[in-house]
Structure 1
Amino acid sequence: MFGFINCNKPTDWSSRDAVNIVQGHLRGKKVKVGHCGTLDPLADGVLVIGVGAAAKLVPYVHQCGKCYRGQFRLGEETETGDIEVSPTKFPEDPVPTRASIEAACPTFLGDIKQVPPAYSAIKINGRRAYKMARKGLDVEVPPRQVFIESLKVIQYEYPNLELEIVCGTGTYIRTLGMDLARNLGTHAVMTGLQRKRVGEFFIDQAVPIEQIREQPLEQLLQPAALGVSHLPQVIVDANQHLDLVHGKLLDEVEVLSPKSQYATIPVADQESEPQHVAAMDQAGRLVAILAKQGQRWKVKKCLVTEVWRGDES
């Protein structure tokens, strides 16, 4: 068991609910399972689930670019930013034109500061913000830097607005929609959200919960390499792979560019020397994540201990 499941999480399900279905297949087996990026019950779409050693790769999948479709209703607002509670309406708000919305979108591109909503899963002094907010406590959420690659208007008929967002990790789509509305002199509440893509995992290839429940997991697993396709790569032969398994350092090797065209990483980071690379064996399998140590590479995470030697006897 080693790979990712591209799950199409339905609305009204938590990310944990989807993971529980996978774990149900593995009852009695010592196989790790972890999801890569929480989707709120309001949201549906791509939820990447790491199985076996691939669960170690969750932090790297978090780095992948993501694509969302968010639906908003202008002229309304809630304290949660979505329709979990009844909205307050602002009938005196101006009605933006589509042209004015599209003109405001570039303001939010690149590295921007964003204040996540108080009703979020962010931890403040070790406590979840939403738990404190629901108890009526004042929650001051610090701003965070996020990266927005693109922001497009897909449909607009006042008061309903649909946006497509390509962004980096940690972005709150409801906050982005609210900030855009504020820029236009109005308010907004998020009414729906779908995650269309996480790195190389796309919604049109995602597996519904019913299929995960009924089908053997082995038939649903995608290669672990898909989860780190945004990382530079090195190719190791059987002897180098064995050295890595034994914890030895790898001498200077050729570092290849990332294969993925869907990585969403700020340009400044792309220009810096890579600190982590994906080590692939000659069969094209991901075998380890390596970290730079001087001019050599050390094992950060060893994923495959079985060394492939091709046609050797």
Structure 2
Amino acid sequence: MENIFAVWKPKGPTSNDVLNVIRKFAGTRHIGHAGTLDPLAEGILVVGIGRDATKNFHEVVQKEKEYLAVIKLGVTSTTDDEEGEKTEHRVVTLPHRGLVEETTHYFKGVYNQVPPVYSAIKVQGEEAYKRVRRGEKVVLQARPAEIKEIAVLSYTWPELRIRVVTGPGVYVRALARDIGDRLSTGGYLTNLVRTRVGEFTKEKSFTLQEIERRFVSKS
């Protein structure tokens, strides 16, 4: 196994939970990942073991990422995903397929994206989500988000399925919210699968069980 490799993260655990499991197998503290996946998301998590691997992570972080996302329209969420409090929106005229395609295509390129307040972005040295959970009002600044490719895979109200390829630092949760806002329906992310990070794909990734077997066989 190379020092930098891809893990297929299942739904449920955080990215750091996955690292903690691998840390026990590998017997080292020098381990990191390139690009957080939310607990409700699954897919490619690139992991590095050893000082040299983690030092070179800046190259991996910059690689493009590909996702399959499911968006529920007509409802918003305080977290922009399934975990938050939901608010239904009264939609008089349902958007037709042509409008949905036009709206999603609008985001192709670079646009100013406001990250979700329930995120690990630091605000005065502390993660934004921790401040929000304490009841503080957090306002995050918009930042450039590069959408390299975006396509509608299917649309049957209220469910919209898209495939999207992004540059680094893009929040697909925020993209789902922004698509809903532009359609004037509201929307939030209900499912997310990261299918690729650069050259790392599912076919080239390991499950946690496979990683455990490989480390055990070496011991």
TM-score by length of 2: 0.93
Alpha-carbon shift at residue 183 of structure 1 (Å):
1.1
- My pick for the range that moved more, 141-150 or 101-110, is 101-110
Count of equivalent residues: 217
Aligned-residue Cα RMSD (Å) equals 1.8
The letter for the 1-side match of 2:149 is S
Q: 1:153 maps to which residue?
A: 152
- 1:152-171 matches, within 5 Å, as 152-171=151-170
Where does residue 213 of structure 2 map in the other structure? 214
The aligned counterpart of 1:13 is 13
Deviations 1:39-59 (A, max 9, x none): 110100000001122121111
Structure-2 residue corresponding to 1:47: 45
**Is the 8 Å Cα contact of residues 151 and 165 (structure 1) preserved in structure 2?**
yes
Secondary structure, counterpart of 1:216 in structure 2: helix
**Which of 34, 37, 59 matches 2:35?**
37
Match for 2:140: what amino acid? V
SS at match of 1:95: coil
In our comparison, the structure showing a higher alpha carbon Rg is 1
- In structure 2, relative to structure 1, the CA distance for the partners of 1:3 and 1:135 (3 Å cut) is same
Q: How many angstroms does 1:91 deviate by? A: 3.2
Separation in 2 of the partners of 1:83 and 1:24? 31
Distance 2:189 2:77 in 1: 9
Measure how far apart 1:218 and its partner are: 9.1
Rate the CA distance shift 1:93–1:76 in 2: closer, same or farther, 3 A: farther
CA distance in 2, matches of 1:217, 1:153: 43
- Structure 2 counterpart of 1:287: none
Identity level (%): 35
Aligned partners of 1:195 and 1:203 also within 8 Å: no
1:84 counterpart residue number: 83
Written as runs of structure 1 = structure 2, the 5 A alignment for 1:96-175 is 96-175=95-174
Residue 155 of structure 2 aligns to a residue whose secondary structure is strand
Residues 67 and 196, structure 1, Cα contact 8 Å, conserved in 2: yes
In the superposition, the TM-score normalised over structure 1's length comes to 0.66
Q: Which residue of 2 aligns with 1:238?
A: none
Residue 94 (1) aligns with residue 88 (2): no
Structure 2: how far apart are the matches of 1:105 and 1:89?
21
- Distance in 2 separating the partners of 1:218 and 1:185: 55
The residue that corresponds to 1:258 in the other structure is none
Task: Give 1:74's aligned residue.
Answer: 73
Q: Matches of 1:176 and 1:16 in 2, distance apart?
A: 24
- 1:215–1:98 Cα change, 3 Å: same
Which portions of structure 1, spanning 4 or more consecutive aligned residues, are displaced by more than 4 angstroms? none
For 1:24 and 1:93, how far apart are their aligned partners in 2? 54
Which residue type is aligned with residue 16 of structure 1?
Answer: N
Higher relative contact order (CA 8 A, sep 6+): 2
Unaligned runs of 5+ in 1: 220-313
Q: Partner letter of residue 157 of structure 2? A: Y
